[in-house]
Structure 1
Amino acid sequence: MSSNVNIPGDELKEAQERLDFVNNNIDIGHHTFDFDAAFGPELSRGAAQNFEDRWEDGKHQLQKQVKGIRDAIGQILDAFEKTDRDAAAHLDGGSGT
């Protein structure tokens, strides 16, 4: 029976970086997007503005959840790295702390 353990550290770090990107770009804001030019003034003042107003609440919730996932990945990576260091120290005859 194989007892190999594969910790996808690189993949977890990449996921954490991508979540940073999502979090940093989730809010394009109405300052950088011209609703009037994209949708016309009629739609912009109606449905698009209504969506923007409602998105404001959802955006903050999504940012909170993305940050929570990113932080959890960081904790997992820290725990794996500590376990790896402790195991290496024990193999070398060290105290592991």
Structure 2
Amino acid sequence: QAYMEPVVPGISANPALFTAIHKDTAELYYELVPFDAALAQAMSDKAVRIIRATEAGELLPRIAQSSDFHECRFCDWQDRCWKLVPEQLVAEGLPQ
């Protein structure tokens, strides 16, 4: 919604429609999600920080101390994040 505001004036005044499908029953679920300008800006700022760090070859801090943390176990980037050992970080010029 935040990015559509210049194209569709007033769109942020209306909630977004979140839609999900129950995979077992094919039942549809709908929920109106109100626009939160502060959250939208915070997420945009976070994305910019991540992109800039990535472009600079910086390895950002992990969200956990161990690869068996529940969020890490399901992450698509687990190999990139956890398979680098300190020697590789130094060789790649990345902070340890």
| TM-score, normalising length: structure 1 | 0.31
Structure having the higher Rg: 1
> Could you say which structure has the greater relative contact order, defined with CA pairs below 8 angstroms and 6 or more residues apart?
1
TM-score by length of 2: 0.31
Larger helix fraction of residues: 1
